[in-house]
Amino acid sequence: MSPRIRRVLKLVEELELDGAELNALRAELDALKGCEIEPDACADPADRALAETIKRRIDAAARGETRMVTMVEANGILRARQRARRTASR
């Protein structure tokens, strides 16, 4: 995950947007064609898992059911991915 994406996720988490605000944000991003989360496009299983988690959390948060994916979760997935790559390269 790029540093830019991590910064955006951290900012979204810090904003603590409610469901209506998340819906408005998603609508604005959709209008910009900037909110495309396609887990099936991810070749790496860890990337796909993260994309699916983010997609589910955005939908649930928009319904007011849960918070966004936390940085702890995103970093955990990233660390697992890095470990898998190190293991595979040996």
Q: Residue 80's pLDDT band (boundaries 50, 70, 90)?
A: confident
21-30, 64-73, 76-85, range with the lowest pLDDT = 64-73
Domain ranges for the chain, please list them. Answer: 3-88
What whole-number percentage of the chain has pLDDT above 70? 81
| Contacts by residues 68-77 (CB-CB < 8 Å, ≥ 24 positions apart) | 68/9, 68/12, 68/13, 69/9, 70/13, 71/6, 71/9, 71/10, 71/13, 74/1, 74/6, 74/9, 74/50, 77/46, 77/49, 77/50, 77/53
